[in-house]
Structure 1
Amino acid sequence: MHGVNNRGRCVGIQKFPFLLAHAFIFELAMAGAVHAKQVSADATGIQADTVPVVDIKGGQTDVQARREFIAGKIVIGRASIEASGANNVQELLRKEPAVTISANGRLGLMGLPGYTQVLIDGVAAPAGKEPLELDVTHVESIEIVKSSLAEFGPYGSAGTINIISRKAKRLKTVTQLRLGALAGGSEHGSNFSWSTNRAEAGSPWIFAAQVSAGSQTRSDDSSVSVRRWFDDAPAVVQQVGSTTGWTRTDRLSLGGTVSWEAGRRHVLEFDPGLLWFKVSNRGVESDTWSAPQSRPHMVFSDGGSPLTTLSLPLKWTFRPDRQSKLILRLLSSHYHLTRDNNRLEAYIDAPDQLRQSPRSSHNRGNTIKLDYTRTIGAHDIKTGASVVQSRSSNEFAYLLDGVADASLQVLGNRRDVRDCRFSAFAQDEWRVNKVLGVNLGLSGERRTTDIDEGIYGGSSKFTSWAPSGHVSWKLPGVTERHLRLGLARTLTAPFLDQLTGRPTINPLAPCAPGACGQNSIAYADTAGQPKLRPEKTAGLNLAYEHYIGDDSIITLEAFSRHIDGLIGTDIQLENVPWSALPRYVARPANLGTARSHGLSLEAQLQLRELWKASPDMNLHGSVTLAHSSVSTVPGPDNRLADQSRWSAKFGGSHAVAGLPLKLNVDANWTPSGWVRSTATRKLYTSRRSELSSQAIWTFASGWRAKFTFDHTLSGDATRIESFFAEDADFERRSVRPSRDRFRFDLEAKL
């Protein structure tokens, strides 16, 4: 691949789709020949060779499944998903011991949410689709690996969370329904989900469908204060403000599967999906300034962002024999977003101004993915290759009192992006004997991103190779114990927003009509960096797993990461095209090297496996300790963003004897602390403590009612940002109150 031409096609790999098409035709020809052989054999009374039916044993627990993976893959199966009481993927993962929660609520592995890869069916989610917001109605299982596997590509330095979508199954017809309502001190809403699976005995056709919808309104208020220091002089309060408002989120998700089995060798699946999502908001900001000139003292804002995503995946599975499988996936996705932002600003020394910034985005993507697996003796071999091509167009407008804002005309009104990726992998999972297993793999990707946005633009190109190796050793003894070692080299690629040069003007340091003035470091604009390079990470994981029965496990794991070309945010005073005077701009930058290491203890215990006379109770929890440092940032507190010094979670479930009642409790803690991300910025977040309790009552008819109460133990959330400039230092302190909420859900299998 040598680039992307003007039409957005990947030069040098255009022939790949045609090769796949030829392979598809060739395999169909083979299938036809085999079918003819079977018909001929039946006519002559001779039995042709057939593929034996593989008997998959049911009833395997998630812990039992975990033992089979050399790389220590954690599996959350459908039975565990239904028993969890969670409504979406994020709620489910918050209960999982291996998943950590950062001080700002982000989920990740090893305390590194920014380095955790989240996939859907082994590939990145289509544009506009947030995997963690998926309703569990659309989820069959979730896989978690706290290292890198070649089959998941060269990304995910902290690991991968792979969400497996629900597909049609050859089982009896079943329909599930859920109705829910949410209420609390600051939010209310409702949700609905429905799924069905229909299969007729003897029919080659299977049908499945899932529908989920919901609406949620959240009111929010916060306060902010900004202080400024000049050398050794006392601090001056520059701004005191408050914000009140509400946000409404409406969503509708449709998914389905049509599956056709052509004999025992071929399965063709079509899994269309539609997501509609709209966020509406309205707010009022009130500010008091020490120097009110050219600064709004009151702002009335409103906006809306409707989003539509359509995905059309087609999957063909061919089984030449019981030892091998070929899967061809074709995916076409379309994404459309419109965004309206309106700000009416009231000034003391000037007339009111109405600022509007409508935006429209459209994305089209196509993916071709071919995977082949084969078992040769003790080796399970996987290989694959894929091509991803996408093109997006964005249109912008900057209006001041209904006419184009002359100060921002230099930015232009359009951005076109063409992205092309070619990736391949090979992986061998070798079970040397009953106690030793080895997983070796290599994945690579070549990627070109061309950005055209008027005065900005450029091209980002890189090629990456990511080797990985895992060793699993079953220790001798009556109790099953495993030692696992993982080594991997991975990549973290910049996001598109980190590569685009188009700025976002700080609304509290707006441009005056016809010209942009100077801002301060506390009110910096934000923009991307077209020359940003990917991060490269070397990682090591060493884990000891102690299994107790079929449902209990204790894991002690040490981990280490070395990151080259760390991507962070740097704030500098720059000469910029949109202002005649220098302005402070926050941009992503490669800051140098970083190191992170830590230790985690995780437990998942079924008490009756420890003590037979105990109540029917499950306990789970984890504690993670982590330390990190960034070479180019002065200490102390020069840690990786979002990685806390420690985090903990604890939970349990109890089936009440004699009653159709199950109780669930989950809690998590993250400490307060400072993180110095660059020489010019330091951030403090207050401690985070949450408690969620749930009661599930199952009726004789099969319906069940869920009562969930979420409570914040840590009180209001405080955030402090300190900025350091040559002329002055600033401190911005914001406080956001926390509120409890209650949710009721009614579920049934029909």
Structure 2
Amino acid sequence: MPVCLPFFRVAVCGAAILFVCNTWAQQAPQDGPRPAENTPQAEPVQQVEVKGGAYDPRRDDTASKMVVGSDEMLKYGDTTVTDVLKRLPGITVTGAAGRQGGEIRMRGLGSGYTQILLNGERAPAGFSLDSLAPELIERIEILHAASAEYSTQSIAGTINVVLKNTVKTAQREIKLGMGGGRDAFSRNGSLQWSDKDGRLSYSLSASVYRYDYDAGGLHDSPALDLAYLPDGQQNLLRLISGGGGGRSEGVNLAPRLNWNSAGGDSFTAQFFLNAGRSNSHSNYHTETLLGARPDVDNDDSRNRTRQRFGRADLGWVHKLDGGAKLELGLRGMVSNSSTGSATLGDIDGLGLALDRKVEVGATYKTLSSSGKFYSPWMPGHALSTGWDGTVSRREEERHERQRAVAGGDVPLASDDNFAAHVNLLALYAQDEWDITPRWSMYAGLRWEGIATRTSGNRFEDVGQRSSVWSPLLQTLWKLPDTKGDQLRLALTRTYKAPSTSSLVPRRSISTNNSQFEPDRQGNPQLKPELALGVDASYDHYWAEGALLSARASARRIDGYTRQGLLWQDGRWVSTPVNDGRANTRTLGLEAKFPLRAVQGATAPAIDLRASINRNWSQVAQVPGPNNRLDQQTPVSGTVGIDYKTPGGMLTTGGSLSFTGGGPVRITPQQYAYSSPRRDLDLYALWKFNPKHQLRLAVSNLLAQDYESNSAYADAHGSMIRAGVSGTAPQARATMEMKF
């Protein structure tokens, strides 16, 4: 019944929308004149000029959007999407330079504030964009302000990764690449195959990758544990050294079929298959010079991950009278993953004290439908209404075995399982209104309802329902008597729903339990965070390809969620809690232009670009200073240059990205610090002939070490953990061949 009921609701709502839309479309020619055919006012000359062949969504769309095409993404020969995103204005990637697995952030905010979509939908839990080759991507859409068509779980913004889906001309291309550095080596290959046969077009994108890394021994990631009594006397000093290595490899397949009927309808079938596996190992040794020893002095771990992900998208676009059209979509997604870990811990002089093995298997299944009706219902207006409905189920089994050893903990045999049902229904309407040739407005309203129910063998069933109304308003004004000056303003209401895992009251046990390695447990009482936002920007287009832009935004977040740290039953436990209000503000500046826009047509073919973003935030329940939201990145910036030789045989360039760090106060008792991050990347592209070219790239040339500190202080004293991670430059070479 819980699964069938949402389907029934989606079907009823969808049928109602379709009935209204079809009735409206059939009556439109009788109730009023058709645009452009009978009414000259319906198609002003100015609109045709702006929306013409040189259409730029960033410049011309009323709803704020920045689009990054495949040429820009492939420029540096990147093998991961995170490497592409780190160079874009206003986007940062956390962690050490040159390392995979960093968190993608807009406005410096992570932990779910930035919405990451794959073809307009959220990817399943555990899916990483690092496993997706840039060659499979058609474009990346960056939405600074929410729109009703996508989910409004986007307090910081939305990054929508769109897989290749168009066939303009026949294409056959193979790319083979390899790269490496002091501690890593990678190989990758990709295939692009597309063609047309009458009304049928088809394409196949495929990629394979393999990545090996070796942290280089016990001194790669040194750390210190320090503790002090309230009077300032030191009572703990531990030296931690360690390292590790591993391998990850995988394959991606993305076939697509498209058929256009004689009547103008189009049918699409797009599939995406991803399979990957990884193995890693690590060994850390703790030497206690002062104070109490940890639970184990040596921690030796082996980890294994296997994941398979499949997705199918079916779509139909039906053209109606008067320029209206109806879009229907059906999507299915299945993900299966298994992880295993084996941990051995021993105490110097006493031998083995810990022997633990954990096996986790999880499946994630989703079935969703969507519909959208578009109609130019009156002169100057473009109305869209639609729905999204999703039914998903996640099942997980966890088996933990801890063998009895002399001097160690008691044996443990734990078998946990849980199932989560998440049903989502969203209805929306939006209207784009061209008030004058230079002034347009976008108004949208979206309602999202989420019902979550989790059950397990070690906790009582947990159910939660929430719904959010999101009114949205955006406007674009092209300033009169200017060639390319324009202003944007957006007012939005967005939210962040708790993840399924954060609601499950199941505890995950850490090895060396402390304030820095606590047990983890979900909170079934967690509520969504709600945000009111305002965005404003000014763009100055002063020559072909030249832009100066300033952007400012602010968000007020109610029900802010942070990780609480508790002392329960002799152990530290971390659990998410709602904790009042938070505010965040952002100011961004961007410039890009060809040198010829300044020096004229005789200047060399050099393109310049630069951006800087400053972020501020305050959490009301945490005293300052540095009480930033979610360890927000305070400042980030990029500087880049591209040069093309006469004739275009050689293109080269470089990019320097900077991400600020500094201290942050997470809670009244918890503090953290991270060092700034600098990425210097260079590339060169040689075109031997129209079918063969070689791309070379060097990344992380500065090889900057990454430092991070955590601290905890209360009435009983303070404790500090300080660590550093080494990095190294990486070089890549890719041969690109068309046939």
Q: TM-score of the superposition, structure 2-length normalised?
A: 0.89
1:236 CA displacement: 2.8
Cα distance 1:418–1:556, how it changes in 2: closer, same or farther (>3 A)?
same
Cα distance 1:248–1:489, how it changes in 2: closer, same or farther (>3 A)?
same
Q: Match of 2:243, as an amino acid?
A: T
1:545 to 523, 533, 539: 539
| Equivalence for 1:565 | 559
1:525 CA displacement: 1.3
| Equivalence for 1:162 | 160
| Equivalence for 2:34 | none
Distance 2:562 2:158 in 1: 21
1:600 aligns with 2:588: yes
| Equivalence for 1:514 | none
Cα distance 1:180–1:321, how it changes in 2: closer, same or farther (>3 A)?
farther
Q: Is the 8 A contact 2:593 2:607 kept in 1?
A: yes
Cα distance 1:132–1:72, how it changes in 2: closer, same or farther (>3 A)?
farther
Q: Is the 8 A contact 1:641 1:675 kept in 2?
A: no
Q: Is the 8 A contact 2:70 2:135 kept in 1?
A: no
Q: Match of 1:591, as an amino acid?
A: D
| Equivalence for 1:118 | 116
Cα distance 1:668–1:524, how it changes in 2: closer, same or farther (>3 A)?
same
Q: Is the 8 A contact 2:90 2:636 kept in 1?
A: no
Cα distance 1:56–1:421, how it changes in 2: closer, same or farther (>3 A)?
farther
| Equivalence for 1:626 | 615
Cα distance 1:555–1:450, how it changes in 2: closer, same or farther (>3 A)?
same
Distance 2:13 2:612 in 1: 50
Q: TM-score of the superposition, structure 1-length normalised?
A: 0.88
| Equivalence for 1:214 | 209
Distance 2:320 2:126 in 1: 37
Alignment of 1:179-328 (within 5 A): 179-200=176-197, 203-220=198-215, 221-289=220-288, 290=290, 295-321=295-321, 323-328=323-328
- Single out whichever of 139-148 and 678-687 deviates more from structure 2: 139-148
2:65 to 73, 82, 85: 73
Cα distance 1:100–1:296, how it changes in 2: closer, same or farther (>3 A)?
closer
Deviations 1:412-452 (A, max 9, x none): 51111111101111111111111111000011111011111
1:391 aligns with 2:383: no
Distance 2:486 2:553 in 1: 16
Distance 2:313 2:6 in 1: 25
Q: Match of 2:117, as an amino acid?
A: L
Q: Match of 1:186, as an amino acid?
A: D
1:96 to 75, 78, 88: 88
Distance 1:734 1:239 in 2: 12
Q: Is the 8 A contact 1:148 1:468 kept in 2?
A: yes
Q: Is the 8 A contact 2:334 2:365 kept in 1?
A: yes
| Equivalence for 2:452 | 449
- Single out whichever of 392-401 and 119-128 deviates more from structure 2: 119-128
Q: Match of 2:344, as an amino acid?
A: L
1:627 CA displacement: 1.4
Across the two proteins, how many residue pairs are aligned to each other? 699
Q: Is the 8 A contact 1:265 1:320 kept in 2?
A: no
1:60 CA displacement: 5.4
1:292 CA displacement: 6.4
Deviations 1:343-376 (A, max 9, x none): 1222233544321001110111111111111223
Distance 1:706 1:441 in 2: 44
Cα distance 1:735–1:394, how it changes in 2: closer, same or farther (>3 A)?
same
| Equivalence for 2:472 | 468
SS in 2 for 1:389: strand
1:85 CA displacement: 4.1
Q: Is the 8 A contact 1:324 1:374 kept in 2?
A: yes
| Equivalence for 1:660 | 649
Distance 1:56 1:320 in 2: 25
1:505 aligns with 2:504: no
| Equivalence for 1:743 | 732
1:653 CA displacement: 0.8
Query: Gaps (5+ residues) in structure 1?
Result: 32-54, 510-519, 575-580
Distance 1:712 1:531 in 2: 47
Q: Match of 1:375, as an amino acid?
A: P
Deviations 1:268-301 (A, max 9, x none): 2111221001121012221123466672222222
Distance 1:61 1:407 in 2: 69
Distance 1:346 1:56 in 2: 74
Cα distance 1:352–1:630, how it changes in 2: closer, same or farther (>3 A)?
closer
| Equivalence for 1:492 | 496
| Equivalence for 1:142 | 140
1:414 to 408, 413, 417: 417
The runs of at least 4 aligned residues of structure 1 exceeding 6 Å deviation read 21-28, 55-59
SS in 2 for 1:356: strand
Distance 2:191 2:526 in 1: 44
Q: Match of 1:110, as an amino acid?
A: R
Q: Is the 8 A contact 1:294 1:350 kept in 2?
A: no
Distance 2:134 2:49 in 1: 24
1:113 CA displacement: 3.5
Q: Match of 1:193, as an amino acid?
A: S
Distance 1:143 1:164 in 2: 8
SS in 2 for 1:506: coil
Q: Match of 1:288, as an amino acid?
A: E
Q: Tell me the percent identity.
A: 23
| Equivalence for 1:706 | 695
Distance 2:358 2:471 in 1: 45
Distance 1:27 1:570 in 2: 48
Q: Is the 8 A contact 2:367 2:390 kept in 1?
A: yes
Q: Is the 8 A contact 2:310 2:334 kept in 1?
A: yes
1:126 CA displacement: 3.9
Distance 1:561 1:56 in 2: 36
SS in 2 for 1:265: coil
Deviations 1:376-428 (A, max 9, x none): 3211212110111111111111111399x97766x751111111101111111
1:375 aligns with 2:364: no
1:427 aligns with 2:430: yes
Q: Is the 8 A contact 2:294 2:512 kept in 1?
A: no
Distance 1:258 1:21 in 2: 27
Q: Match of 2:287, as an amino acid?
A: T
Q: Match of 1:332, as an amino acid?
A: G
Q: Match of 1:130, as an amino acid?
A: S
Deviations 1:482-510 (A, max 9, x none): 0101110100111122212212212113x
1:96 CA displacement: 2.0
| Equivalence for 2:28 | none
Distance 2:373 2:131 in 1: 31
* Structure 1 vs Structure 2 CA RMSD: 2.8
Distance 1:254 1:717 in 2: 35
Cα distance 1:589–1:735, how it changes in 2: closer, same or farther (>3 A)?
same
SS in 2 for 1:11: helix
Query: Gaps (5+ residues) in structure 2?
Result: 26-47, 97-101
| Equivalence for 1:535 | 529
- Single out whichever of 558-567 and 694-703 deviates more from structure 2: 694-703
SS in 2 for 1:652: strand
Q: Is the 8 A contact 1:256 1:272 kept in 2?
A: yes
Q: Is the 8 A contact 1:153 1:425 kept in 2?
A: no
1:10 CA displacement: 5.2
Distance 1:182 1:459 in 2: 49
Distance 1:699 1:322 in 2: 50
2:571 to 569, 574, 583: 583
Distance 2:146 2:135 in 1: 28
Q: Is the 8 A contact 2:404 2:410 kept in 1?
A: no
Q: Is the 8 A contact 1:570 1:680 kept in 2?
A: no
Q: Match of 1:640, as an amino acid?
A: L
Q: Match of 2:590, as an amino acid?
A: E
